[in-house]
Amino acid sequence: MKTVSENRMRSAWALVLSALFTLPALAQTDAPKYSNEFLAIGVGARALGMGSAYTAVVNDVTSGYWNPAGLLGVKGDLQVGAMHSEYFAGIAKYDYIGVAKPIDSLSSIGFTFLRFGIDNIPNTIDLIDPSGNIDYDRITSFSSADHAFIISYARKLSIPGLRLGGNAKVIYRRVGGFAKAWGFGLDAGAHYERDRWRFSAVARDITGTFNAWSYTLDERTIDVFEQTGNEIPVNSVEVTLPRLLLGSARQFRIGQKFDLITALDLECTFDGRRNTLVQTNFASIDPRLGLELGYAGIVYVRTGLMNMQYITDISDKRTFTVQPNIGLGLKIKSVSIDYALTDIGDNSVALYSNIFSLKFDLFKKPSS
């Protein structure tokens, strides 16, 4: 007999599916192609080492980011994950921390925090004093940072192998004391296992994520904007349009010690043609491929391919490019340390970054 919770989860998933049919109409709204892009970087060196082909593979605390349905893979009483990375010679810093906890044998909950920011940006608006003199002591600094707070829930259904999950996320973006934005959005995910196959579907920003921007500009700042020919910003709403991620993975057993996981993800956007490998009037599809070879459940080697696209140079010559990623992992009892060499999307080897992440499980002491 179906439980009330399962009926609610099915109703929620039906709402997600109906929302997906409205994606072409939403794409026609006045929304930028790239919004809240800090949420597209990814978390966890394991996932990044596999080229972000991870929505069908994930089964730990990072599920709050990749696919909330994967939270049911958390086995400890509490699992904690963390990552710190830096880009552009340390100018930009990206931080992640997540916690996940099983509620009972059928459901789990998780919390994720993300921050992508640039700190100590010089503010030279007051560099020149009222007398026209340059005074470097008048230079101050500010930070520009994007934050996301995500609460996730996942539940097993009565259908063997099927799990559903959802995210509620709050976005907070701030540019010094000049501008800030608050936003709210919803994600939904599904995970299905059959034998050694895994399949996933994740709908991000299923109703659109709306960021309400407000600006606080004094007369001096407005005056500088006008003198330098910059447009004076006004309060506005920025919409992040929905996208759909479809994934599949297959696990192979090789002898007594080795395990191999192969994964494929397809990220589908519906806001017009993008420079992706597959482009249609309905959707742009960005494929990702990932591999993970594990030995004795302790040592892991990973690789992945992503950002596959054709680039046209100034001589109109089209060249196929792809971004390769590599990674390593070490698991000792309840502690996992992962490493990835990856980029944030421009296919330039010079801008590759070293990413490390940590994950560990906490277990309650057995009662005496």
Residue 124: which residues within 8 A CB-CB, separation 6 or more? 139
- Using CB atoms within 10 A of its CB, is residue 23 exposed (0-12), middle (13-18) or buried (19+)? buried
- The 10s digit of each residue's pLDDT in 168-227 is 999 999 998 889 999 999 999 999 999 999 999 999 999 888 899 998 887 777 877 787
Share of the chain above pLDDT 70, in %: 88
Q: Give the residue extent of every domain in the chain.
A: 4-362
Q: Considering only 57-71, 148-162, 336-350, which range has the smallest mean pLDDT?
A: 336-350
Asked whether 16 and 187 are in contact (CB, 8 A), the reply is no
- The 10s digit of each residue's pLDDT in 26-85 is 444 456 777 888 999 999 999 999 999 999 999 999 999 999 999 999 988 999 999 999
- How many other C-beta atoms can be found within 10 angstroms of the C-beta atom of residue 280? 10
DSSP, collapsed to helix, strand or coil, labels residue 37 as helix
Q: What is the 3-state secondary structure (H, E, C) of 156-220?
A: ECCCCCEEEEEEEEEEEEEECCCEEEEEEEEEEEEEEEECCEEEEEEEECCCCEEEEEEECCCHH
In terms of CATH, what superfamily is 4-362? monomeric porin ompg (2.40.160.40)
Band (pLDDT 50/70/90 cuts) for residue 23 is very low
| CA–CA gap between residue 70 and residue 163 (Å, rounded) | 8
Share of the chain above pLDDT 90, in %: 58
In this prediction the pTM is 0.85
- The 10s digit of each residue's pLDDT in 125-153 is 778 777 778 888 888 888 999 999 999 99
